[in-house]
Structure 1
Amino acid sequence: MRAYRYLDFITALFVVVLIVSNIASTKVVLLGPFTFDGGTILFPLAYIFGDVLTEVYGYKRSRRVIWTGFFLLILATLTFGIVNALPTPPDQQSTAQAFSAILGLVPRIVLASLVAYWVGEFVNSYVLAKLKIATQGRWLWTRTLGSTLIAQGLDTGLFLLIAFYGVWDNALLWTVFVSNYVFKVGVEALFTPLTYAVVGFLKRAEREDYYDRDTNFNPFAVR
């Protein structure tokens, strides 16, 4: 595989956004008419990075980045869980309680986050790659928004159902789903000019504009 100047940097940004978003999601926030978990403020950037990766470097390289983020998210979660389970000195009980409240993630939320991320990111990359072939590389906005409309719906719906179905009443689940979905898609649309600029810069700098015409789209493929 070719060496690229900026692929490692984008991968690092992607993983940081992913992990910080999951930490921030422990708090439910209000922003104007929207009600959502705090991670929603930053998490849409992960999909924008996913769009950029697939558009410039192709699905195969995006697959590697998605799996990298997946395993590092597991590592972060396991670290928080182990630290939370270890005993605390008596004079540090208040600190331990604060840590547990923020980072002592319950297994159901962890499972929801991992499943939603995995499904959403792979669907986003797959749809964008297929649309790039269908549009012959034209109309980038149709690919970024089209893939986001599908993938964010799956991501948001899976996370809320796995994490909170039966815990929150259905009315609250629906309210949070609509707020999250509208906000995430809105951020994608708002950032479209920036996405165009970044994609254009990377295509010139990397001398790459990959088309997934003969790609194996199996997310578990290792070659």
Structure 2
Amino acid sequence: MLSSVPRRQHRYYDLLVAAFVTVLLCSNIIGASKAAQIELPFFGTVVFGAGVLFFPISYLFGDIMTEVYGYAHDRRAVWCGFAALVFAAVMAFIVVHLQPAPGEYSAHLQEGLETVYGNTWRIVAGSILAFWSGSLVNSFVLAKMKIASSGRHLWFRTIGSTAVGEMVDSSFFYFLAFYGIWPTELVIKVAVTQYFLKTGWEVLATPLTYVVVNFLKRKEQEDFYDRNTNFNPFKVKV
């Protein structure tokens, strides 16, 4: 049954938001700034951002929340993730710049902290802006496609919205964070590779998306259509 009644409390929404923020923080802090490579048959050496292995999970959560609860609920989750990333960036900056205690161990630990968490302001800003804009674009496109398709063809809507959102995300992040630092050819190569890997990840995750969406719609008795939604990306209220 389609939902057109006022928003209500849901059993699983908070758990989804917590999982979403956890994936977001881990993928951005641990793997965002590392360029890795693998050897693949036919393709040869493929260079990619290490965070691409896990960051697409956040888009999976975004698709699920938008499909079940609507754009406004996913928008709130995105703002929660935005706040978490800002806090993590501020905390990392403070910890790295605190005077270390004397001793060889502390000196080596400080070097490691600076390597892992001493990201430049460009990387931090690029990561946060790319996540915020890409996630909201993904949610907006999915919500509009759901209305246009009358809720049919979930696979097409999740893949299509992710393709658009990831294009925004990949374009913003790598060019804001690494243009002029990495060789331009590498920036383009990693950004393009990341885009196709993330979109491909969504294709592979489609069966799981169906399972989770169907479970939540059944348990929550919710299948929201954003026909009267205010799509202002700066609102936090559901």
Q: TM-score range by the shorter chain?
A: over 0.9
Shift of 1:74: 0.5
Partner residue of 1:109? 123
By percentage of residues, which structure has more helix? 1
Of 66, 76, 81, 2:88 maps to 76
Where 1:90 maps in the other structure, the secondary structure is coil
The within-5 A match list for 1:95-134 is 95-134=109-148
Q: Hey, what's the Cα distance between the residues in 2 that align with 1:196 and 1:5?
A: 19
Q: Deviations over 1:194-215 (max 9, x none)?
A: 0011000000011100000000
Of 214, 217, 222, 1:203 maps to 217
1:61 maps to a residue whose letter is H
Q: Hey, what's the Cα distance between the residues in 2 that align with 1:30 and 1:178?
A: 14
Q: Hey, what's the Cα distance between the residues in 2 that align with 1:101 and 1:171?
A: 24
Partner residue of 2:175? 161
TM-score scaled to structure 1, two decimals?
0.97
Partner residue of 1:62? 74
Partner residue of 1:139? 153
Q: Deviations over 1:159-198 (max 9, x none)?
A: 0110111222221112111210111011000000000110
Over the matched positions of the two proteins, sequence identity in percent amounts to: 47
Partner residue of 2:227? 213
Give the unaligned 5+ runs of structure 2. Answer: 1-6, 40-44
Shift of 1:222: 4.0
RMSD of aligned alpha carbons:
1.0
Q: Hey, what's the Cα distance between the residues in 1 that align with 2:65 and 2:169?
A: 19
Contact 2:170 2:192 survives alignment (8 Å) = no
Shift of 1:38: 1.4
Q: Hey, what's the Cα distance between the residues in 1 that align with 2:185 and 2:134?
A: 24
1:85 pairs with 2:91: no
Q: Deviations over 1:85-124 (max 9, x none)?
A: 1000121110111011001121010010011011100000
Partner residue of 2:42? none
Partner residue of 1:190? 204
Partner residue of 2:19? 13
Contact 1:51 1:125 survives alignment (8 Å) = yes
Q: Hey, what's the Cα distance between the residues in 1 that align with 2:52 and 2:133?
A: 17
Partner residue of 2:35? 28
Q: Hey, what's the Cα distance between the residues in 2 that align with 1:36 and 1:46?
A: 18
Give the unaligned 5+ runs of structure 1. Answer: none
Where 2:48 maps in the other structure, the secondary structure is strand
Partner residue of 1:44? 56
- Bigger shift: 157-166 or 126-135? 157-166
Shift of 1:59: 0.5
1:14 maps to a residue whose letter is F
Equivalenced residues, count: 223
